[in-house]
Chain A
Amino acid sequence: MKALPGDPVLNLIGERASPETIENIRKEIGADKGLAAQYMGYLGLLLRGNLGRSYYTNRDVLTDITLKFPNTLGLALAAMFIAVPAGILLGFMAAKRRGFIDKLIDTITISGLSVPVFWSAIIIMLIFSLKLRLFPPSGTGDIRFLILPAFVLSIPALASLARVTKTVIKDILTLPYIATAKAKGLSSLRVDIIHVFKNAIIPIVTIIGLDFGSYLNGAVVTETIFGWDGIGRFTMEGIIKRDYPVIMGCIIAGTVIFVIINLITDVIYHYLDPRIRLHGEEK
């Protein structure tokens, strides 16, 4: 980290500061020590469950992250709340209908995966906040502040979920037991819900969990643009100010969250699929 351009000390106090001041601050943040010593120092802190202090605000990074985490979680959950039902529905429709609707949904989902989040965020903000004045353009607060960023964040997740759902359901529809169920004279709604959907839900849940990383990715950009006070914006501010404890802390926190979500998904997966459960119990 020391190798990078831009000196945090110079950023902090400006270029006209006296050499003594610079030296003092360097000592305070430990930048006067060697690279190896800095690294070992950081590892030591980490082992004690401490992420260090921000160079700028001198606040404890871990405290800040715990304060901002609920905001990011709220945003991610709101985005999932949009993406999950809409994505599954779109995928389901694309799998059931042939021809025009299928192609249309394909085009929509591929577009959803192709439009960069930072651009759609700016454009949506321009239209809905600056032109139509329906929502506040930025800030953290009640649901009015939440809707636009959650919507932007949900776009790529929605698109990838729809694509996976489509593939999974298409596969299931070709299986013999669906034909059997139809032959038994079950209504098509019943077949869809009990036979198709119940079997599709397992891979879909896995994808929702695995895609949680994409919410974290998207949050960096979305939170910055909409001024949402979460971990994503915190990371971005750290990058701009070269505030290394903050950057490192956010990356570590993001990774830990990502791993925990994957773990939770694995556990849910285990409960949803009786085959996996039985297999485990036999052992």
Chain B
Amino acid sequence: MVKKNKSSLRLKLSLFVIILFFAVSILSPLLPIHDPYRIDLESLKKPPDIQHPFGTDNKGRDMFARVVHGGKISIGVAIIAAFVSGMIGFIVGVTSGYFGGRFDAVMMSIVDFVLSFPSLLFAVAISVILPPGIYTVMIALSAVGWTSFARLIRSHVLTIKTMPFIDAAKAIGCGRLRILLLHIAPLCIPISLVMMGIKLGGFILTEATLSFLGLGAQPPVPTWGSMISANRAYVLAAPWMVIFPGLAISITAFCFNMAGESLKTRYEFDKNSRV
């Protein structure tokens, strides 16, 4: 299934940038940068210079520090949401693929139900019910995201189920649960991990959009999306307040998508199953 190709350089490069961004944002409290919450009324809306490489915002806070700190939430939420979606999708996909029948039918109609909503509207609907904050964003992202995992893993299980070694396992008297847990589930782990990588770019963007809509982490906590939303009004006077957080989102999402694309070609995802 694994096919080597030349895309591994792109993969490595994207992974390098992602890891760099994430490491810097996680280690941000230890780095010698400004305090992202410190309000400095002496230097409002200063254009980028050596002291403030990304300029300052309308409260005199250092934009570079805010962008770096914002990455923690923006990337972290997306990764956790991808992981949770993957877990839910994995459990649903494996069980409904293996047991089939009525259980499968019910589970797949739930998947179809969720997919019949435009995804952002569905996430918005969930975020509106719960109090705004990062957990709400995680729940909203996972509530939409698990469906594509479930579908993919289910079809994977259906293929595995017909393989001779499953018959062999049955023949030596393995129980259904044993086959499910020890023979089928482990074979679905790699494909789930690859899928998480592929979906992460999308999760980053949706997280940013929900934050932009004011449904995510609340001020003064910086996230890339909420910074753009808050600084929008000053775009003409101080464009750097909007440009840099947006660049951070775009570059991160681009690297995730690039890495996902390489993974897709590498693991030869079925082109007909829209993932």
A-side interface residues toward B, CB under 8 Å? 1, 3-5, 106, 110-111, 113-120, 122-123, 125-126, 130, 167, 171, 210, 213-214, 216-217, 220-221, 225, 235-236, 239-240, 247, 250-251, 254-255, 258-259, 262
Q: Give Cα distance in the complex from A236 to B225, angstroms.
A: 15
From known contacts A5-B131, A254-B118, infer whether A114 and B271 are also in contact, taking CB-CB under 8 Å. no
Q: Are A240 and B214 in contact (CB under 8 A)?
A: yes
Q: Are A111 and B254 in contact (CB under 8 A)?
A: yes
* Residue of B121, B125, B130, B253 most packed against chain A (CB within 10 A): B121
Q: Which of B121, B253, B261, B271 contacts A220 (CB 8 A)?
A: B121
Task: Kindly list chain B residues whose C-beta atoms are within 8 Å of the C-beta of A130.
Answer: 235-236
Q: Give Cα distance in the complex from A255 to B213, angstroms.
A: 19
* Given contact pairs A4-B128, A220-B120, A251-B124, a sample of 10 additional A-B residue pairs in the complex whose CB atoms are under 8 Å apart: A113-B257, A116-B205, A116-B246, A116-B253, A122-B228, A123-B246, A216-B121, A217-B120, A239-B213, A255-B121
CB of B102 closer than 8 Å to a CB of A: no
CB of B243 closer than 8 Å to a CB of A: yes
- Which residues of chain B in 204-256 are interfacial with respect to chain A, using CB atoms and an 8 Å cutoff? 205, 208-209, 212-215, 225, 228-229, 232, 235-236, 239, 242-243, 245-246, 249-251, 253-254, 256
Q: Report the tally of A-B residue pairs with Cβ distances under 8 A.
A: 122
Q: Are B208 and A122 in contact (CB under 8 A)?
A: no
Task: Kindly list chain B residues whose C-beta atoms are within 8 Å of the C-beta of A125.
Answer: 235
Task: Kindly list chain B residues whose C-beta atoms are within 8 Å of the C-beta of A213.
Answer: 118-119
Task: Kindly list chain A residues whose C-beta atoms are within 8 Å of the C-beta of B124.
Answer: 220, 235, 239, 247, 251
The residue of chain A having its C-beta at the shortest distance from the C-beta of B205 within the complex is A116
Q: Which of B128, B242, B271 contacts A247 (CB 8 A)?
A: B128
Q: Which of A126, A220, A250, A258 contacts B235 (CB 8 A)?
A: A126
Q: Give Cα distance in the complex from A193 to B165, angstroms.
A: 47
Q: Are A110 and B261 in contact (CB under 8 A)?
A: yes
Q: Give Cα distance in the complex from A70 to B107, angstroms.
A: 36
Task: Kindly list chain A residues whose C-beta atoms are within 8 Å of the C-beta of B242.
Answer: 119, 122-123, 126
From known contacts A113-B257, A114-B253, A240-B214, infer whether A221 and B129 are also in contact, taking CB-CB under 8 Å. no
Task: Kindly list chain A residues whose C-beta atoms are within 8 Å of the C-beta of B128.
Answer: 1, 4, 239, 247
Minimum CB–CB distance from B262 to chain A (whole Å) comes to 11
Q: Are B209 and A118 in contact (CB under 8 A)?
A: yes
